[in-house]
């Protein structure tokens, strides 16, 4: 049995794989007004479809659906197998509250109740 596939079949399989990844992708990268689906995510970075992704560099926002996960400083690393891979230089988790500039006492009262 041979492992050779014609070029058209390989391209068709790659297109079907990308379409399946895009359908399952919940993570998104936002750069200004542009939004790109993340096809692969790992601890050190992520990958986008090479056909739709520009060579991004700088500050981007990472979302899971509508939830803001983190703000990342990235650099384009390499193109591999139809994907453009990006590496994190810095990834800061997004929070919904402002950071405190003082240490909060664990036993401090939460509220003041009046009589």
In a domain, 74, yes or no: yes
* CATH code (residue 58): 2.40.10.430
Terminal Cα distance for the chain, rounded: 86
In a domain, 61, yes or no: yes
Q: Cβ(52)–Cβ(84) under 8 Å?
A: no
Number of compact structural domains in the chain: 1
Report DSSP state, residue 105. Answer: P
In a domain, 12, yes or no: no
Provide the residue range defining the domain that includes 49.
26-93
The pLDDT of residue 87: 92
pLDDT digits (tens, 9 = 90+) for 57-93: 889 999 988 888 999 999 888 888 778 899 999 988 8
In a domain, 51, yes or no: yes
pTM of the model: 0.66
Across the range 9-26, mean pLDDT stands at 73
CB hemisphere CA count around 63 (13 angstroms)? 13
Average pLDDT over the chain reads: 83
Across the range 98-105, mean pLDDT stands at 81
- What values do phi and psi take at 33, rounded to 5? -95, -10
Comparison of pLDDT for 55 and 37, the residue scoring more: 37
The pLDDT of residue 2: 57
In a domain, 39, yes or no: yes
CA dist 24 and 16 (Å) reads 12
Q: Cβ(46)–Cβ(30) under 8 Å?
A: no
Q: Cβ(37)–Cβ(49) under 8 Å?
A: yes
In a domain, 101, yes or no: no
The pLDDT of residue 61: 92
């Amino acid at each position: 049995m041979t492992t050779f596939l014609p070029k058209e079949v390989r391209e068709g399989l790659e297109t079907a794989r990308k379409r399946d990844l895009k359908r399952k992708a919940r993570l998104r990268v936002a750069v200004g007004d542009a939004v790109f689906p993340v096809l692969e995510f790992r601890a050190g970075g992520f990958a986008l479809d090479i056909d739709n992704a520009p060579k991004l560099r700088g500050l981007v926002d990472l979302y899971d659906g509508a939830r803001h996960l983190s703000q990342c400083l990235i650099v384009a690393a390499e193109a591999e197998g139809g994907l453009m891979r990006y590496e994190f230089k810095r990834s800061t988790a997004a929070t919904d509250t402002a950071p405190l500039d003082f240490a909060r006492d664990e036993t401090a009262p939460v509220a003041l109740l009046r009589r």
